[in-house]
Chains A and B, each alone.
Chain A
Amino acid sequence: DSGVTQTPKHLITATGQRVTLRCSPRSGDLSVYWYQQSLDQGLQFLIQYYNGEERAKGNILERFSAQQFPDLHSELNLSSLELGDSALYFCASSVSEGAWGNIQYFGAGTRLSVL
């Protein structure tokens, strides 16, 4: 158990809909990262938050947004869903904001299926 909690584990929805994925980081971790992993693909970095503020942006679509709340949990909002958004979405957390010496601990992921 990494200590990172993601809910829900599975999500099935229809095209055009909007969903929210939730992540609770490890106790004491201030950074939260979101990744997308499509079938047989690598990890695509979406966005990073540190202590409530956006720190880095990757290949995140405009239809996607995220935020980190004062209690440090984070939510990833996906809207106007398309079939191609079906993927495994991982949240990871780390103690600090940089990549130097910073281990990322991953949650179990949310599997999103858009039908």
Chain B
Amino acid sequence: GQQVMQIPQYQHVQEGEDFTTYCNSSTTLSNIQWYKQRPGGHPVFLIQLVKSGEVKKQKRLTFQFGEAKKNSSLHITATQTTDVGTYFCAANFGNEKLTFGTGTRLTIIP
């Protein structure tokens, strides 16, 4: 079936360091969304990427969609304790169903 691979599964960083999570698909995506789930919370929508090579920024977060629309990344600059949580990508393969990645759990060492 259609799957999206997300790496790494876990990431521990010192506060102030950067963080990146990647999502990869073997097939072209229609669009991709990113969600954040705080510990004990529920997933919350962050952003959607649609165009090839698209880059969007939200304060310290930078989202990219690959030129081939097969991969995407989320980069956080200078992490803060509020960034703790699990980040999920959610891919649309064109069948109008979102397929969530396995998530990257980010922990911050103060």
Contacts and interface: CB of A to CB of B under 8 A. Distances in A.
Interface stretch (B14-22, B69-77, B91-99): B91-99
B102 interface: yes
Given A48-B97, A99-B92, A99-B96, A43 B33 contact: no
Contact of A98 (B45, B50, B96, B101): B96
B31 A100 contact: yes
A53 to B, nearest CB: 14
B88 interface: yes
Contacts, number: 58
Label chain B's interface by main secondary structure. Answer: strand
A43 B51 CA distance: 25
A103 interface: yes
Given A42-B88, A42-B101, A103-B33, A97 B42 contact: no
A101 B97 contact: no
A105 B33 CA distance: 12
B42 A42 contact: no
A81 B98 CA distance: 27
A25 interface: no
Interface string B35-54: 00000011111001010000
Interface in B72-94: 88, 90, 92
Contact of B100 (A40, A42, A101, A107): A42
Interface in A38-68: 40-43, 45, 48, 56, 58
Nearest to B47: A103
A48 to B, nearest CB: 7
Contacts of B98: 45, 99, 102, 104
Given A42-B101, A42-B103, A48-B97, A100 B92 contact: yes
Nearest to A88: B42
Interface in A66-96: 90, 92
A106 B44 contact: yes
Interface of A: 2, 35, 40-43, 45, 48, 56, 58, 90, 92, 97-109
